[in-house]
Chains A and B, each alone.
Chain A
């Protein structure tokens, strides 16, 4: 395959429209890729980037529009067809079989080699050559479970290259990488460019986009805003075009951190040696009436921190104080009795009982309450529960056709509002909120932020864990950074030093 000149067009998507019912996820998008370039698709959550790539990769069929590969019009109806056309994709959630080794994952589903048996030697030789060519080192016999995130990503890239891709789509590739791992990725991308391959880089992170892109296509609300060459625009202009409005500084008044503490962690450790699932000598405090934001890339111990502060796990070393008295027993019910509320990471797995109604979920923890039952739970007052649910529906603007509807049928934003209603109505002293606005649109996000700030003003201490750096900056009164299970630094939320914090997030 001849290495194309930088002007050779490899892929073109013309007037792509994708509708889901009456919703337009993509509307009249035009996008093209040339050989040897890194072309970034820039846009916020929900702008339509993933949908467009799923169309390219054959997972969705476009409602309208055409795709041209090397000038030929094609219909891509399945991922294997996309692969045959030379399009490879590294998804945000890796498509790797954990129980298998690197080698097995790479040759999985391969149809080119002949014979029934796997020719280990021949295949391994081929793969090793590829990995050396592109600087993707990988131990072929290691099971995936033992690999760090950055290494797993390299396997995914090797997989795509092994299948002969010319265009590699990277979907939010640095979301779970450390700065060092991200650097490694950018080097690999350079090598790919050098060999004439193209990279479609999907991201919403301005800094890295400015660093690696040759061209940038901005998507907003499902439509192409424009395509620019690097160097033609500045980061701020890009950001504005991406959001469609001026980036304003936080609208919330920040509070001072003083007074009574609601939660204190004193040299707490849990699974100390685990870099991605442990806590290593953590000390922190949360005061009444303040929001402490934990910044950091997902997978640095945040989940464990949240589980600890809600009583789901117990520390292996160190101790915790809740409302100024030492915690003796770590169990969720005990913490709930002490007015600790929890907005969990995964709303479907841990937040709601999907098959139960909205009303049932709203009173999930309070069925023994006098308001909702007689005799401490011996007879549930169905009518009282229903009325309460209707009240909450109005107060928290929960959009659902009926409070008796199964909660799993609600949209993500409304599900989160149900959880919010349940957790906040208990007038908590401590609120632990983990990724509370993940996957939600701007309106729902704003609503949740407003409500949390309101609780703070009523005297609740809030620990906010989020991978969305902008959210942390927007809402926190104090910012702590977590990296590999440790607290790397503490910063004021009033005029946060963004560069310092970013460095801390990467472990420096």
Chain B
């Protein structure tokens, strides 16, 4: 029974990816380019050499953070759609500390990371408090907070921390920038993200609190009756998921972007939700999915340069993957579907 479950969890996303790529290839052909060539350049651009690999990991890092944010929240039944806002708040706080603190280097990095995480957590807690005390659904509120955070960032880079006449902030001082990871284009933020994923996996599946948190997400009434402190876990999931996103934002600023600018973190939040769903909320699978989609994005610029196929094709492919994956997972759970499989299994037995 467990084997069959894993089969569905892996087969459905895999099939969705294949089908989406096929459709992507059809679109590419319709645009007048050679799909095989396009795919070749896609692969080359993402994994073809060490430099590109580093770029892929670098691109994947913020996505891993927002994916983990969505995973953790949704595991508790919390629809935290505010990953983007929490990411941005973390980056804003890190920007202030990095550019204004009287010290630089590792202590500054550490402070930025911690403060960024705390900021993200608090930003998410706004929605958390409203849910726990006013019973208000968190979806709309977290999304509204995304817009507020983005606008706030706008104030920061057009006004408060502006770098001269250009609409961007002052850069993070050299000593406070993140060192690179084994000489790759990716920074140490990447292994931090992976470690975060592993830690979350361990927490959810190997600790009592994680177990209870999952129970709350799966059946809140039963959790309450069995003595779990539901309010505490709900708040925890908001704050921790927000903190993860905030940490991601801080590290993205210190490692890759180095400045706040229009378009910082655009779409990362929703992407994270999509990837978490494709990965069936499994933290480790989420890391894999994030790397995969980062590869898609990075590779597509090479593809565009070489074949003229617009990069937005990769966005379409990613969007198609989620459309098919969620539909596929629902289909697999349908009783009619299960019966067909059961009948076949019985026949073979």
Q: Is B305 an interface residue (CB 8 A)?
A: no
CB distance from B228 to the nearest CB of A (A): 7
Q: How long is the Cα–Cα vector from A365 to B228 in the complex, in angstroms? A: 8
Segment from B26-34, B189-197, B213-221, B243-251 that makes contact with A: B213-221
Q: Name the B residues within 8 Å of A360 (CB-CB).
A: 211
Given A310-B225, A336-B226, A350-B225, check contact A364 B215 (CB 8 Å): yes
Q: How long is the Cα–Cα vector from A86 to B205 in the complex, in angstroms? A: 57
Residues A401 and B1 in contact, CB atoms below 8 Å apart: yes
- Size category of the A interface is 35 or more
Most buried by B among A356, A376, A401: A356
Residues B208 and A351 in contact, CB atoms below 8 Å apart: no
Q: Is A368 an interface residue (CB 8 A)?
A: yes
Q: Name the B residues within 8 Å of A378 (CB-CB).
A: 207-208
Q: Name B229's contact: one of A333, A365, A376, A402 (CB within 8 Å).
A: A333
Residues A365 and B207 in contact, CB atoms below 8 Å apart: no
Given A332-B227, A377-B208, A380-B207, check contact A353 B1 (CB 8 Å): no
- Mark B169-202 against chain A: 1 for CB-CB distance below 8 A, else 0: 0000000000000000000000000000000000
Q: Which residue of A lies closest to B219 (CB)?
A: A353
Instruction: Give the number of residue pairs across the A-B interface with Cβ within 8 Å.
Output: 73
Q: How long is the Cα–Cα vector from A133 to B78 in the complex, in angstroms? A: 54
Residues B219 and A333 in contact, CB atoms below 8 Å apart: no
Residues A336 and B227 in contact, CB atoms below 8 Å apart: yes
Q: Is A493 an interface residue (CB 8 A)?
A: no
Q: Is B40 an interface residue (CB 8 A)?
A: no
Q: Which residue of A lies closest to B208 (CB)?
A: A377
Q: Is A373 an interface residue (CB 8 A)?
A: yes
Q: How long is the Cα–Cα vector from A98 to B214 in the complex, in angstroms? A: 33
Q: Name the B residues within 8 Å of A365 (CB-CB).
A: 226-227
CB distance from B105 to the nearest CB of A (A): 33
- Mark A343-361 against chain B: 1 for CB-CB distance below 8 A, else 0: 0100001111111100010
Q: Is B209 an interface residue (CB 8 A)?
A: yes
- Size category of the B interface is 20 to 34
Residues B211 and A312 in contact, CB atoms below 8 Å apart: no
Q: Is B224 an interface residue (CB 8 A)?
A: yes
Residues A367 and B212 in contact, CB atoms below 8 Å apart: yes
Residues A404 and B1 in contact, CB atoms below 8 Å apart: yes
Q: Is B206 an interface residue (CB 8 A)?
A: yes
Q: Name the A residues within 8 Å of B205 (CB-CB).
A: 380
Residues B222 and A350 in contact, CB atoms below 8 Å apart: yes
Q: Name the B residues within 8 Å of A336 (CB-CB).
A: 226-227
Given A349-B221, A349-B222, check contact A380 B215 (CB 8 Å): no
Given A367-B208, A401-B1, A404-B2, check contact A333 B221 (CB 8 Å): no
Given A349-B219, A349-B222, check contact A377 B227 (CB 8 Å): no
Q: Is A405 an interface residue (CB 8 A)?
A: yes
Given A353-B215, A356-B215, check contact A368 B225 (CB 8 Å): no
Given A349-B219, A354-B219, check contact A332 B226 (CB 8 Å): yes
Q: Is A287 an interface residue (CB 8 A)?
A: no
**Interface pairs (13), CB distance under 8 Å:** A312-B224, A332-B227, A333-B229, A336-B227, A350-B221, A350-B225, A352-B219, A353-B219, A355-B218, A364-B222, A367-B211, A377-B209, A378-B208
Q: A312-B224, A331-B227, A344-B225 are in contact. List 5 more A-B contacts (CB 8 A).
A: A310-B225, A332-B224, A335-B227, A368-B208, A379-B207
